[in-house]
Amino acid sequence: MIITPQELQQWVDERRTFRTIDIRPAGQRRDFPLTGVKPLVADSKSIPKPNGQPMVLICQFGIVTEGVIIEKELDKAYSLLGGALAWEALQSEKQDLSRWSRQTVLPEIGIVGQRKLNRASIAIVGVGGLGCPAAAMLAATGVGALKLIDGDQVELSNLHRQTLYGIGDVGKMKVTVATSILNNHYDQVTLEPVAESLDEGNAQDYLRGVEVIIDATDNIQARQDIDRASKELKIPMVYGGLYRFEGQVAVLNHEGSPGFIELFPHPPSGGDTCTDAGVLGMLPGIIGNMQALEAVKLIVGMDSTLSGKLLIYDGLTHETTIIELSEKK
């Protein structure tokens, strides 16, 4: 039997009881993930036994599943007409992607990459000079969920570089103000504010379940805590650092790349914050946007990330240096 994408969508909307079974190869499932359904994964030779519920079999084009149903004489089994491609085309029609049309036209992003971004969850630890631009651009790019973690209040000295805040926000919690601003601008993003500072005791609880961690903090202890959680949870960490006119970006703990502790085994004991060393207001915007870009590349699956590399940007000369880092032993 055949079921059209529109009929399957009606089943989903009516919350009918049925099973979807994706029999595509792993590569097709990875490159063309299904939206709106949570199928079981099987191959054509090991279809689960009928349990009385209707089954919808999904392949890439809707051809293989028709043959499987006939060959195995499956009862109450449906082949999705047009397969996964037809289903995703229907999902694209349901959601207006025009706001991201200037990036979906890029072959490295495309509709598939945009869907990955729309489903992605990213944690930003620190909603200050680095976290403000990173959060704003990731929300604008279409990332589905952002967890904002920061226990600080807005201070007057923040305003020259932390552009989500204004004079009327001084004394308010950063995550509260940032959530309100981002909600007003970007209706598609789910925001989870955490008005606490991240530390070794709570890091794994707060970071578990996201796909990328952006380290937008400004002190070494917090970075070390993020690094340990990143390793334990096997979630890549996008590091960003500032020092006067210099900025640094790296993708850490990703596919064998070193972590923060390996990158800086003997960090300085003081002078590591903007309060101590100073920073020009434009620099966090540059570095925070670079961190957001690296997070997008990780989510979409581009190869050209800063994994295993340290980018150093000099704001005085606009020179950029990339250092290859040794892999973890």
* 41 occurs within a structural domain: yes
- In this structure, what are the phi and psi dihedrals at residue 227, rounded to the nearest 5 degrees? -60, -45
Residue at a domain's end among 94, 123, 144 = 94
The answer, yes or no, to whether residue 104 has pLDDT greater than 50, is: yes
For the CA atoms of 252, 241, 225, 197, the dihedral, rounded to the nearest 10 degrees, stands at -130
153 and 29 share one domain: no
The answer to whether residue 279 is domain-embedded is yes
Within this chain, do residues 165 and 59 fall inside the same structural domain, yes or no? no
Q: How much of the chain, in percent, has pLDDT values that exceed 90?
A: 69
Give the mean model confidence (pLDDT) for residues 133-159: 95
Residues 70 and 179 grouped into a single domain: no
pLDDT of residue 293: 98
pLDDT in tens, 54-71: 999 999 999 999 999 998
Rounded CA-CA distance 114/110 in Å is 6
Q: Which amino acid is at 138?
A: L
pLDDT digits (tens, 9 = 90+) for 214-223: 999 988 999 9
Do 50 and 121 belong to one domain?
Answer: no
Same domain, 90 and 112: no
- 94, 126, 161: which is the final residue of a domain? 94
- Predicted TM-score (pTM) of the model is 0.72
Look at residue 329 and tell me if it is in a domain: no
Q: Structure tokens of 31?
A: 């490159």
pLDDT score recorded for residue 94: 66
Q: pLDDT at residue 269 above 90?
A: no
CATH of the domain at 54: 3.40.250.10
Assess whether 223 and 278 both reside in one domain: yes
- Domain containing residue 220: CATH number: 3.40.50.720
pLDDT at residue number 272: 57
- Looking at the structure, do residues 80 and 16 belong to the same domain, yes or no? yes
259 part of a folded domain? yes
User: Hunting for tokens 């028709």 — which residue is that?
Assistant: 66
Cβ proximity of 144 and 119 under 8 Å: yes
Residues 241 and 115 reside in one and the same domain = yes
- The confidence score (pLDDT) of residue 44 equals 81
Do 87 and 156 share a domain, yes or no?
Answer: no
Per-residue pLDDT band for 95 (boundaries 50, 70, 90) equals low
Residue 275: what pLDDT? 67
pLDDT at 329 over 50: no
pLDDT of res. 319:
96
What single letter denotes the amino acid at residue 165? Answer: Y
Mean pLDDT (whole number) for 290-298: 98
Residue-number span of the structural domain to which 26 is assigned: 2-94
Among candidate residues 94, 126, 151, the one where a domain is terminated = 94
Tell me how far apart the alpha carbons of residues 267 and 244 are, in angstroms, rounded to a whole number.
Answer: 17
Shared-domain flag, residues 235 and 140: yes
Q: How many domains does the chain have?
A: 2
Residues 143, 129, single domain; the answer is yes
pLDDT at 268: 62
In this predicted structure, the answer to whether residue 252 has a pLDDT above a threshold of 80 is yes
**What integer pLDDT is reported at residue 274 of this predicted model?**
63
Taking the mean position of all CA atoms in its chain, how far away is CA 186?
16
Please check whether residues 165 and 67 belong to one and the same domain.
no
